[in-house]
Structure 1
Amino acid sequence: MTTTEITLGASLDKSTHTTPGEPLIFRPDLQVKLGVCSETMRRWMKAGTLPPPDVAMSRKKQGWKLSTLAAAGIRI
Structure 2
Amino acid sequence: MTTEQDPNEIIKRGDLPKMLHVCSDTVRKMYNAKKLPPYDVALSRKTSGWKRSTLVAHGVKV
TM-score, normalised with respect to structure 2: 0.75
- Structure 1 unaligned spans of 5+: 1-21
Q: Identity, % of aligned pairs?
A: 48
**Distance apart, 1:35 and its partner CA:** 1.0
Structure-1 separation of matches of 2:56 and 2:40: 13
Runs of 4+, deviation exceeding 6 Å: none
Say what the alpha-carbon RMSD is for the aligned residues.
1.2
Match of 2:56 in 1: 70
TM-score, normalising length from structure 1?
0.63
Q: Which runs of 5+ in 2 are unaligned?
A: 1-7
